[in-house]
Chains A and B, each alone.
Chain A
Amino acid sequence: MASGEIENSDYQQKRWHNIRKLLERSGPFCHPDFEPSAEILDYIMNSCKVLIVGAGGLGCELLKDLALMGFKKLHVVDMDTIELSNLNRQFLFRKNDIGLSKAKCAVEFVNKRIPGCEAIAHHCPIQDLDDGFYRQFHIVVCGLDSIVARRWLNGMLMSLLQYNDDRSLDQSSVIPLVDGGTEGFKGNARVILPGMSACIECTLDLYPPQKTFPLCTIANTPRLPEHCVEYVKVLQWCKENPWGPNTGLDGDDPQHVAWVHEKAQERAMKYGIANVTYQLTQGVLKNIIPAVASTNAAIAAACATEVFKLASSCCANMNNYMVLNMSDGVYSYTFSAEKRLECVACSNTTRVLEIEPDATLQVIYDKLCEDNGYLMKSPGITTVINGRNKTLYMASIKSIEEKTKDNLKRRITELGLYNGVDLLVADVTTPNTITIKLKFSDSIDIDMSR
């Protein structure tokens, strides 16, 4: 088919016939502010930038779903490469693709399949991309299996929030985060409006802790095959260092897994424990979470529906957390996870402290203790300069106090502090470490976004 024909507007009209009905017609359940128009589809196709974090089980589905909901300006970030065990659900990859970048492969496939889709791949850890990168997106949707990565992303989106002078949130700085997760036949999807609704850190309790066994059970009274594998992993490996002291246990190295399997079997034999299989060994070593195409498809689709609603306002978003369980029938439940007032991430609204540029750190310390807005008891003050953490003063830890007490006498500019820098201050008087932005009193304009 000639490319001219693809651009043909009649074709476009027909092709997006389905979603246009939702975007160009109003309904009785629409929000009163919703104004149906053809511009919305234009916005979705040509302006709305969506970042898909992860190109695995959920990511592949999300990319396909969003591309078929009209989104063209899609970015995908994933640091992983394709493995054989991905192919039972990550449907954009084939056996020939094993070893290639997930993000690149997924993007290439979808751009080819769906004419007009302009997805862009980033084959790197999410932490390698800076705030300038994240700020360009209207919506971020994530399908990750790692809690650390989720927390990092959550923190990043929180840090992009801007506040007005009256400390109210500037809504245009909000980048909604739609998050999905699955485990076997169970999953969840949620919508987070940073600074407005419950965030990842608010609901950290919802993530089950990783299953661990008491060390003494592993060492002395193993009963389960898992105990035998854990013994080799936690205790025997570093004792024997089978590949030399510099080689750590790698659950992706089949030789390592085989070694652990063999040793775990020996141990199991000694104790009369049955069923230490290769599959189980690998499961324990890599903390493998079962995964199947169907659950991923359903959860990703629920997330994509929410992205579509956010971008178009054609329907109110879910409020704000859905759990799905498909192991006994199909059951879903949607509830409103509550924003925690003392949340370390999203209630940490930056406060501003005005200071003379030639002041010493002692002046700041005294202000924190004496100013009516603070009245702190023993503030510990740290900051981040050039991406490095720096401890400015902390009285409670003797060894740190000794090494940092001289800082009090020094001028703040000598310490590397600048106009607009963030100080992290911990004190018994606040439930969390708070962020305080320094504003030099002779400078007028200060970029509050940084």
Chain B
Amino acid sequence: MIKLFSLKQQKKDEEGSARAGGSQKKASAAQLRITKDLNELNLPKTCSTEFPDPDDLLNFKLIICPDEGFYRGGRFVFSFKVGPNYPHEPPKVKCETSVYHPNIDLEGNVCLNILREDWKPVLTVNSIVYGLQYLFLEPNPEDPLNKEAADELQSNRRLFEQHVQRAMRGGYVGTSYFERCLK
């Protein structure tokens, strides 16, 4: 049992005088956790990170350059925004490169289960990186965000491959224009 009545009576009376002076603002639990996540980040060789402001560990970019699969030779940039409720809530991740991909739409929304419904606090930035990398190796037509691309992947892989190539070189697929993103 903690006896506030006897423990605290004196201390609080002196409040104000004893603790004057500047104080150091404490790091939040989210900050402590992301520091840990990043210090242990173990990137696959196809990935790199960019921190526009090295003091701001909550906002950064991930660059994926796949070396196999449909998207070999491309360079895809994702932005990560880690909020104050991390890791209770996942980071917000968007794809900044326009890409013809069944699971990424033209606004850069990414359909990856651990970014939404399957996120758990035990997961880390590393888990997301591997999830994203996998999306480029194995695009999943079952869970489409770009329905056209998904249908095409299922019905005509060769055509899909051609369209991915065209998009990465820069050009139109259907009515959508894609910026060049080859390395």
Asked whether A316 and B117 contact (CB < 8 A) given A172-B8, A215-B111, A388-B55, the answer is: no
A368 in contact (CB, < 8 A)? no
Instruction: Determine whether the beta carbon of B85 is less than 8 Å from that of A216.
Output: no
Task: Report A-chain residues with C-beta under 8 Å of the C-beta of B113.
Answer: 214
Report the contact-size class of chain B (Cβ under 8 Å from the partner): 35 or more
**B116 is contacted by which of A136, A215, A421 (Cβ under 8 Å)?**
A215
Assembly CA distance A207 to B87 (angstroms): 12
B174 in contact (CB, < 8 A)? no
A370 in contact (CB, < 8 A)? no
Q: What mask results when residues 143 to 179 of chain A are scored 1 for a CB within 8 Å of chain B, else 0?
A: 0000110011011100100000000000110101000
Q: Which of A61-69, A110-118, A268-276, A422-430 contacts B (4 or more CB under 8 A)?
A: A422-430
B36 in contact (CB, < 8 A)? yes
Q: Min CB distance, B43 to chain A, in Å? A: 9
By the criterion of a CB under 8 Å from any partner CB, how many residues of chain A are at the interface? 86
Instruction: Determine whether the beta carbon of B2 is less than 8 Å from that of A193.
Output: yes
Nearest-CB residue, chain B, relative to A40: B5
Asked whether A391 and B55 contact (CB < 8 A) given A135-B15, A216-B111, the answer is: yes
Task: Report B-chain residues with C-beta under 8 Å of the C-beta of A373.
Answer: none
- How many interface contacts (CB-CB < 8 Å) are there between A and B? 195
Mostly, the B contact residues are loop
Instruction: Determine whether the beta carbon of A396 is less than 8 Å from that of B41.
Output: yes
Task: Report B-chain residues with C-beta under 8 Å of the C-beta of A433.
Answer: 27, 32-33, 35-36, 39
Asked whether A49 and B12 contact (CB < 8 A) given A33-B3, A239-B107, the answer is: yes
For window 10-31 of B, CB contacts with A under 8 Å fall at 11-13, 15-16, 19, 21, 23-31
Assembly CA distance A344 to B37 (angstroms): 13
Instruction: Give 7 closest A-B pairs by Cβ, nearest first.
Output: A380-B39, A216-B143, A426-B39, A159-B26, A433-B32, A215-B111, A387-B25
Residues of B within 8 A of A (CB): 1-5, 7-9, 11-13, 15-16, 19, 21, 23-33, 35-36, 38-41, 48-51, 54-57, 84-85, 88-89, 103, 105, 107, 109-111, 113, 115-117, 119-121, 143-145, 147
Known: A151-B28, A172-B8, A382-B35. 4 other contacts (CB 8 A): A40-B5, A172-B7, A382-B57, A389-B57
